[in-house]
């Protein structure tokens, strides 16, 4: 009598045993075992088949369990390798993202304001920023520097409202910086946490503790004080910053929803977002400003600034894409509210650097309003940490 263990392409025959237990052995139907595997591991292509005459579930069950566990543990150790990163490593990673994001944003704002001072056409400037980023990512995908995303029609359908909010926020912020000082635009945009809480409360039905709402008061009050005392106040610039706040909060919330559970990185997600926003913005930019106005303004800027103006345009477009790309890599790791906090704290470096570089006149009361708004943002972030 023979006892046989069958696996795919493997057959092991055990020598005949002259044992009384096996004398009356009968043939048992093959047993199939399907082992659950983690999604990251390679799935079993065929089930494991074992048959043993006379022993039934006795010897077969033990051997099946032993072989399966051994194969699973060996494969798991090879695939998983090192342990998942610790919380400390994740915090360091997010911190690096934040510092890089803020530094790139400072450079972008400097070159963006230089371009807008010489070439006051925010719709075309916004379009060039998106076009540059789209070209960078298409080149990266074509040369396999970055693995292209695997998208489907539903992905682009879900991305459309995010692209609309991104386009509105981008243009509104650029219009604001074309009309007022960079520092003033970012002081008003530091009220973004207030918009984030308001949108989350109304549309997402989220509730927050009383101290969170209380911490919004200095943010709103500081922004209001700074706006009232701004020497170069402009209503279009003020409204552009406010509209940008609201649009970017919606963009961040819907971006986080769109990225959740999707097999796409933050870098590729923002690349797709830029391309769709470019398609949305281009016809509006042509309708609002137009090629003839652009050509005349371009010649004027070149005559006043010289060839250096071309570098300003290229630099502001490249740094716009890079800082947004890093911000979306950060959004991979954090919540929309935390993203808004990081975005607000980033404005401190932008405000200070723009005041120094552009010699922006600042009244003491105006500076006090900005300080109160920033302090309120810090208190707000501390309240969220304690939730």
Query: Is the same domain home to 223 and 319?
Result: yes
Model confidence pTM above 0.75:
no
How high is the pLDDT of residue 360? 86
Spatial separation of the C-alpha atoms in residues 333 and 93, rounded to whole Å: 9
Q: Which two tokens stand for residue 248?
A: 């970017």
- Residues 75 and 133 reside in one and the same domain: no
Same domain, 167 and 109: yes
110 and 249 assigned to the same domain: yes
Residue 259: inside a domain: yes
CA distances from 95 to 6, 99, 105, 326, 334 (A): 54, 6, 15, 12, 11
User: Which residue positions in the chain have pLDDT lower than 50?
Assistant: 1-82
Q: Are residues 72 and 99 in the same domain?
A: no
* 97 & 171 share domain: yes
Same domain flag for 284 and 221: yes
Looking at the domain assignment, is residue 85 inside a domain?
Answer: no
The whole domain housing 75 covers 3-80
Show which of 80, 100, 126 is a domain's final residue.
80
Write the Ramachandran bin of 292: left for phi over 0, alpha for psi from -120 to 50, otherwise beta: alpha
The pLDDT value recorded for residue 127 is 97
The CA distance from 290 to 287, in Å, is 6
Decide if 86 is inside a domain: no
**Last-in-domain residue among 59, 80, 101:** 80
Outline where the chain has alpha helix (H). 57-80, 87-118, 122-142, 153-179, 182-189, 192-203, 210-228, 235-259, 266-288, 291-305, 308-331, 336-358, 364-385
pLDDT at 387: 61
Residues 39 and 125 in one domain: no
**Same domain? 29 vs 157:** no
pLDDT tens readout for residues 280-338 = 999 999 999 999 999 999 999 999 999 999 999 999 999 999 998 888 787 777 766 67
Question: Does 281 lie in the same domain as 231?
Answer: yes
Which residue among 54, 80, 106 closes a domain?
A: 80
Residue 27 sits in the same domain as residue 105: no
Residue 204 belongs to some domain of the structure = yes
CA distance 72 to 200: 44
Q: Residue 210: inside a domain, yes or no?
A: yes
User: Do residues 220 and 293 share a domain?
Assistant: yes
Number of compact structural domains in the chain: 2
């Amino acid at each position: 009598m023979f006892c046989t263990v069958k696996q795919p392409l493997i057959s092991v025959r055990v020598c005949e045993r002259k044992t009384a237990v096996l004398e009356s052995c009968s043939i048992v139907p093959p047993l199939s075992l399907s082992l659950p595997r983690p999604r990251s591991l390679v799935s079993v292509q065929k089930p494991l088949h074992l048959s043993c005459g006379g022993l039934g579930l006795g010897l077969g069950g033990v051997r099946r369990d032993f072989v399966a566990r051994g194969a699973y543990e060996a494969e798991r150790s090879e695939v998983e390798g090192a342990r998942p990163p610790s919380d400390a490593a994740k915090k360091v990673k997010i911190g690096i993202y934040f510092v890089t994001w803020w530094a790139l944003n400072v450079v972008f704002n400097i070159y963006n304001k230089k371009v807008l001072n010489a070439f006051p056409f925010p719709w075309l400037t916004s379009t060039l920023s998106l076009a540059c980023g789209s070209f960078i990512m298409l080149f990266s995908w074509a040369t396999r520097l970055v693995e292209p995303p695997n998208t489907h029609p539903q992905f682009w359908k879900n991305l459309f409202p995010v692209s609309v909010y991104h386009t509105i926020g981008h243009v509104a912020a650029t219009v604001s910086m074309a009309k007022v000082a960079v520092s003033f635009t970012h002081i008003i945009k530091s009220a973004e946490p207030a918009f984030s809480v308001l949108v989350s409360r109304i549309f997402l039905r989220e509730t927050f503790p009383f101290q969170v709402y209380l911490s919004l008061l200095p943010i709103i009050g500081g922004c209001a004080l700074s706006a009232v005392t701004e020497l170069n106040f402009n209503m279009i610039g003020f409204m552009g910053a406010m509209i940008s706040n609201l649009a970017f909060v919606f963009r961040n919330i819907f971006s986080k929803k769109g990225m959740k559970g999707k097999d796409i990185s933050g870098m590729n997600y923002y690349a797709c977002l830029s391309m769709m926003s470019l398609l949305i913005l281009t016809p509006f930019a042509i309708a609002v400003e137009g090629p003839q106005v652009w050509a005349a303004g371009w010649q004027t800027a070149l005559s006043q600034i010289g060839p250096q103006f071309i570098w300003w345009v290229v630099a502001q477009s490249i740094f716009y894409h890079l800082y947004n790309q890093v911000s979306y890599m950060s959004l991979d790791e954090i919540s929309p509210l935390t993203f808004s906090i990081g975005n607000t704290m980033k404005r401190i470096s932008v405000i200070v650097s723009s005041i120094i570089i552009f010699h922006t006149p600042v009244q003491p009361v105006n500076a006090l309003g900005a300080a109160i708004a920033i302090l309120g943002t810090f208190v707000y972030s501390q309240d969220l940490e304690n939730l």
